[in-house]
Every structure is written in C-alpha cells, then in structure tokens.
Amino acid sequence: LADADLAPRIAALCQQLGVRLLTLEEASSTPAGPLPELAPSRAALILYTSGTTSKPKGVLTTHANIQAQIESLVTAWAWTATDRIPLFLPLHHIHGIINVVSCALWSGASLEAFPRFEPRPVLDRVRAGAYTLFMAVPTIYVKLIQVLEADTATDRDAWKAGFAALRLMVSGSAALPARVHDQWAALTGQKLLERYGMTEIGMALSNPLRGERRAGSVGYALPGVAACLADEQGLDITADEVAGEIRIRGAGVFQEYWQRPDATAAVFHDGWFCTGDVAVIERGYFRILGRQSVDIIKSGGYKLSALEIEAVLLEHPEIRECAVVGLPDETWGEAVAVAAVLHSRSGLDLPALKDWCRERLSYYKLPKHLLICDALPRNAMGKVVKPDVRQLFNSSAAQVHS
Ligand code: MCA
Ligand code: AMP
C-alpha cells in the first residue's frame, strides 16, 4: 500500500516481485470485509534499527508482542476514545507507529496526521484546543521552545492556554535534558512525562501519569514489563545507585532479528533482553547514564550507527581513514561528527562532504561537523579510541568545520 505520490517509487520492485501494489485511494474505495483470523504468534511488523553492527537489523515483532506493547501504554496513560492526538513522527519507528497510531486505533481515539513536523501548524492546532495528548522527541520540544520564546507575550499566553488544556504530554526516544523539562514547564505549565523504550521492546519504563514526574529520570517498569539492572557478570544489581545495564522481560519483547539468529542470541541473557543502556535506580526511578556502545548515536530521536556512516565515508575518494562520533548538541541531543585523515594533497570541506553523502545516506545521518587530522587516536592494539576522538573536537587547536 502506498500513497499515490510515492507509489511510482516502488512500482518496478513490486512488478519484479510479483506483488500487487495498491494506492491508498484504491484501497479505501474497496468495500470493507471481515478481517482474517490471525494467530497471535504470527509475525506482524519489521522495523529496521541501527546498532553496533554497520548494517541495520530488522526487528520482527508478532501480533502478540504488539498487543502487549499497546495494552501496556493504554493502561499506563489511560487512553480513551475521547482522546485526540497529533501525529508528526515517522511511522518507521515505534514512537510513531505504536505509541501514537496503534494506541489511538486501539482506543478508538482521534488522530490528526501532519505530512511532517513543522512547529507553526502544530502550534496553531494546540492553540485551537484540538488535542488531549501530545507525544514527541526532545528535539521537537527544543524546536517548539525556540518558536515560543521568539513570540510576543500575548501569543505566548495563547499557546500556554492551549498546552495547559492537554491532559498529558510525553517525551521519549532520547534523553530529555532536565533543563528542557524545566523550560517547558515554565513556558506551558505542562510537566513532561518522560519514558524509555527501544525498537526491540516497545516502551519499558515510564514516569507515572499520576504521581511524581522526575526530570532527568525515566521512571519505572510499565504494566506487563519486568526491568532490572545487571552488572558485568550479568548478575542482578539490588543496591540503589549502583550503575548497571538495563535488562527487560515481558510479552512485548520482540521475537527475533530478521534472518539473524546469531544477533538475536547475542542480545538475550537468561531470558532477559539486554538493552546496552546503562542506568542507576534512585529511590525507585531509573536514571539513564549512557550506552555501553560508543558506536551508537542518537540524533533527533533517530538511532544511528557510527560504523554504518564510517563504511560509507571510507568510499570517499579523498578520505584515507575516518572515525564517526556523536558530539553533545543542544538541539539534536547528539550530532554526527567526522574526524578524517585525507590522502596526501587532498582537501575536503563540510559542504562538499555533505553533498557527496546526500546521495548515499539518509538526511539525518549526514555529518554536522568535520575535523581533518593527521592521524586518528589509536590504542596499543591499533584500534581507534572513540572517547579520544571526541576530545579532538574539543581541543582549542582543532579546526572544526560545522
Ligand atoms: C533532520 N535533520 C537531522 C535530523 N532531522 N539531522 C540530524 N538528526 C535528525 N534527526 C537535518 C535536516 O536534514 C536538515 O539538514 C537539518 O537537520 C534541519 O532540518 P529541520 O527541517 O530543522 O529538521 P526536521 O525536518 O524538522 O526534523 C527534525 C525532527 C525529525 C522533526 C526532530 O528528526 C524527527 O521526526 N525525528 C523523530 C524521529 C523519531 O520518531 N524517532 C523515534 C525512534 P540540512 O540543513 O543539512 O539540510 S526511537 C523509538 O521509536 C524508540 C522505541 C523510542 O523510545 O521511542
Ligand atoms: P531505537 O533503537 O531507535 O528504538 O532507540 C532506542 C534507544 O533510544 C534506547 O536504547 C536508548 O538508548 C534511547 N532512549 C529511548 N528513550 C530514552 C530516554 N527517555 N532517555 C534516554 N535514552 C532513551
């Protein structure tokens, strides 16, 4: 099924595979019929996610997994048929497809879809009192704050009244800085509810709908989810304030990486899914400290693999070697930064590199910073030391193109 505008892009592929292609208009003019019976164990969805490997993996979830993910959120956040929510997040991620679309459909709630996120049209609808619920990534809240702060005091009061009327605003997909949480509360009177999830598990941890919403924390296990922290030996950490890896169990946990049994086996330990995220538990709330892998970058809510970007950059005719890292960024959370060693007598600047990359990488994976250096920092084994690469960008002598 495809929108009429996009159908031509996959028409040839469908023909080659012998798959029937319908536009949305054609599909919706077909009379509705009874839905087929589906086994809960049947595969329902594959979302691709980047990770510690250079190629994205297909995360396969069953109907039972999806039902568990939806029921957990509908219960925790008290969705009802009277809810109204805007959709401006991409549908190829859990945040858009499960938390917004599927929960709304399940509850019989109303959903208003935007072609893409743009602050003004969304703000106008908030001001008109169009919604009861709002879900977004931290970058979107940062962008909305920029617009609100630039507005006149009268307009700001009108936005504030619109936001105050919502019954719940949620942030997730990346860390919400406590500063942004506080700025948002001051501007709109809304205390954002931060939650934590992952493509492989749906949502796992959340601040409560009723009760303390703690800035900088992601709360505790959602209904139907078991969460623990494990030390390096895989043992459960029982003491408060000791850091460990978040591990998750529950009916919402995915079935397998598509055609990757090795990768699937590697992420389960004694029946627990190992997230690779490191946290502490403080007075019953999980607080995320970071990730085990330096090769995962979260930019504007998108999870990017540094290795995937490096593999593409190494095909650039001027680049001899390179390392990709995520640098802290006020708007994006983390921004893709490239340290590159060039072939002798070569030159390269950021606009030229971005143009070259545009043909080969999704727009949100394009480098935002470029540092040309003589050599990459390596350890005794010859492996690039990513934390030292990050430091290179901070050094006062560094000539970073941004
Ligand atoms: C756009 N750009 C980006 C990103 N998005 N660069 C880095 N990271 C990004 N995420 C680039 C544009 O190509 C452009 O580059 C420049 O930044 C400014 O674009 P702008 O128009 O301001 O941005 P935008 O198009 O408004 O997009 C920002 C966005 C979007 C709305 C925040 O990135 C977005 O929809 N993110 C949400 C992703 C998401 O739903 N993630 C959930 C997955 P140039 O200037 O060079 O042309 S995580 C998940 O599902 C788990 C389970 C969970 O917990 O939720
Ligand atoms: P994805 O694979 O795109 O589903 O992204 C999942 C990852 O996003 C998690 O493993 C975390 O690293 C990160 N993440 C999601 N929600 C939060 C949050 N509230 N705070 C910090 N990190 C988060």
pLDDT digits (tens, 9 = 90+) for 273-293: 999 999 999 999 999 999 999
**Across 300-311, average pLDDT:** 95
222 against 154, higher pLDDT: 222
- Asked if residue 332 lies in contact with residue 323, where contact means CB atoms within 8 angstroms, the answer is no
* Model confidence, pTM: 0.93
Q: Which of 95, 114, 297, 362 to mutate to test the pocket of ligand 1 (most atoms within 8 A of CB)?
A: 95
Percentage of residues in the chain having pLDDT higher than 70: 99
Closest CA to ligand 2's atom 21: 175
Q: Closest ligand 2 atom to the C-alpha of 195? A: 19
Q: What is the pLDDT of residues 5-31, one digit of tens each?
A: 999 999 999 999 999 999 999 988 988
Q: Which of 101, 173, 200 to mutate to test the pocket of ligand 1 (most atoms within 8 A of CB)?
A: 173
d(C-alpha 71, C-alpha 83), whole Å: 16
Q: Which of 66, 72, 139 to mutate to test the pocket of ligand 1 (most atoms within 8 A of CB)?
A: 139
For the chain, helix, strand, coil in percent to 5 are: 30, 30, 40
Closest CA to ligand 1's atom 30: 300
Q: Closest ligand 1 atom to the C-alpha of 174? A: 54
Q: 370: which residues sit within 8 A by CB, 6+ positions away? A: 337, 338, 340, 348, 349, 350, 353, 400, 401, 402
Q: What is the structure's pLDDT at 100?
A: 98
**Across 203-220, average pLDDT:** 97
Closest CA to ligand 2's atom 12: 277
d(C-alpha 304, C-alpha 306), whole Å: 6
pLDDT surpasses 70 at 144: yes
- Asked if residue 24 lies in contact with residue 3, where contact means CB atoms within 8 angstroms, the answer is yes
Q: What is the structure's pLDDT at 30?
A: 82
Q: What is the structure's pLDDT at 240?
A: 84
Bridge partners for 302 per DSSP: 299
Closest CA to ligand 1's atom 26: 117
pLDDT interval class at 254 (50, 70, 90): very high
Task: Tally Cβ neighbours within 10 Å of residue 52.
Answer: 18
Q: Hey, what amino acid is at 349?
A: D
pLDDT interval class at 395 (50, 70, 90): confident
**Across 27-51, average pLDDT:** 91
pLDDT interval class at 91 (50, 70, 90): very high
d(C-alpha 68, C-alpha 34), whole Å: 23
pLDDT surpasses 80 at 48: yes
Angle between helices 178-188 and 138-150 (to 10 degrees): 40
Q: 280: which residues sit within 8 A by CB, 6+ positions away? A: 229, 240, 241, 242, 243, 244, 286, 287, 289
313: helix, coil or strand? helix
Q: What is the structure's pLDDT at 394?
A: 87
d(C-alpha 209, C-alpha 288), whole Å: 20
**Across 147-163, average pLDDT:** 91
**Across 37-61, average pLDDT:** 91
Q: What is the structure's pLDDT at 396?
A: 65
- Measured in whole angstroms, the distance separating CA 50 from the mean position of its chain's CA atoms is 11
Q: Closest ligand 1 atom to the C-alpha of 300? A: 10
Closest CA to ligand 1's atom 31: 117
Q: Closest ligand 2 atom to the C-alpha of 199? A: 4
Closest ligand relative to 69 C-alpha: 1
Give the binding-site residues of ligand 1, using a 6 Å CB cut-off: 89-90, 93-96, 117, 137, 139-140, 172-173, 197-199, 299-302, 332, 363-364, 366
d(C-alpha 79, C-alpha 147), whole Å: 29
How, if at all, do strands 272-282 and 285-291 pair? antiparallel
Q: Is 46 exposed, middle or buried (0-12, 13-18, 19+ CB in 10 A)?
A: middle
Distance of CA 175 from the midpoint of ligand 2 (Å) = 7
Closest ligand relative to 178 C-alpha: 2
Bridge partners for 87 per DSSP: 113
Mean pLDDT of the chain: 94
Half-sphere exposure of 244 (CA within 13 A, CB side): 22
pLDDT interval class at 233 (50, 70, 90): confident
Distance of CA 342 from the midpoint of ligand 2 (Å) = 34
Q: Closest ligand 1 atom to the C-alpha of 139? A: 32
- Asked if residue 115 lies in contact with residue 140, where contact means CB atoms within 8 angstroms, the answer is no
DSSP string for residues in 138-183: HHHHHHHHHHHHHS-HHHHHHHHHHHHT-SEEEE-SS---HHHHHH
pLDDT surpasses 70 at 63: yes
Closest CA to ligand 1's atom 24: 117
Closest CA to ligand 2's atom 20: 175
Both tokens of residue 110?
């109303």
Q: Which of the residue ranges 121-125, 152-156, 202-206, 257-261 would you say has the lowest mean pLDDT?
A: 152-156
DSSP string for residues in 343-375: PTT----HHHHHHHHHTTS-GGGS-SEEEE-SS
Residue 390, ligand 2, Cβ within 6 A: no
Q: What is the structure's pLDDT at 297?
A: 96
Residue 84, ligand 2, Cβ within 6 A: no
